[in-house]
Amino acid sequence: MKEKSAGFIVFTRENSEVKYLFLKVGGRLDFPKGNIEEAEDELTAALRELKEESGIDKIRVIPGFRKVLNYYYRRDDGTLVSKTLVLFLGEALGKNVSVSWEHEGFEWLSLGEAIMRIKYPLYREVLKEAEQYRVRKMEGGLGRWFGNS
């Protein structure tokens, strides 16, 4: 069986610190994500799932970040599923989160906290990539001067 999902790696700034959003499900941390519905593109599905699962509907999508993860998991009934997950990167314009019935709660975590607590190595790696991309795109240009010297 095959599934294709889309979701977000969401961050916000708390004073000068960047925090990432994780939803809690089954005792593990997860990104807001879900299956792509018929006639939906990846970004539309990711935005819908973000709103449904976290209540976040104001997000600045960071252009150019799109990561595809492929992995297998077993459903409760034992069915092996080949999963493709497309993740986008976005900055939430607020910290208010209201989780759906699918989740036990949520946490905003620093990169270091998240790396220590994420169960899946693929998720740790994609989070590190997202952080490197975020820094390069959003902070790399600060403080640079242009013009004649």
147 inside domain: no
32 inside domain: yes
15-42 tens-digit pLDDT: 888 999 999 988 889 999 999 999 999 9
Our measurement of the distance from residue 15's CA atom to the centroid of its chain's CA atoms, rounded to an integer in Å, reads 21
More confident residue, 100 or 105: 105
What's the pTM value of the predicted model, to 2 decimals?
0.87
User: What local confidence, expressed as pLDDT, does residue 79 receive?
Assistant: 93
Across the chain, mean pLDDT equals 88
Burial of 63 per CB tally in 10 Å (0-12, 13-18, 19+): exposed
Query: What CA–CA distance (Å, rounded) separates 55 from 103?
Result: 12
131 inside domain: yes
111 inside domain: yes
- For residue 11, the domain's CATH number is 3.90.79.10
Which H or E element spans position 29?
A: strand 28-30
41-69 tens-digit pLDDT: 999 999 999 999 999 988 999 999 999 99
User: What local confidence, expressed as pLDDT, does residue 15 receive?
Assistant: 82
User: What local confidence, expressed as pLDDT, does residue 140 receive?
Assistant: 56
In the chain, the number of structural domains is: 1
Report strand pairing: 33-35 vs 59-74.
Answer: unpaired
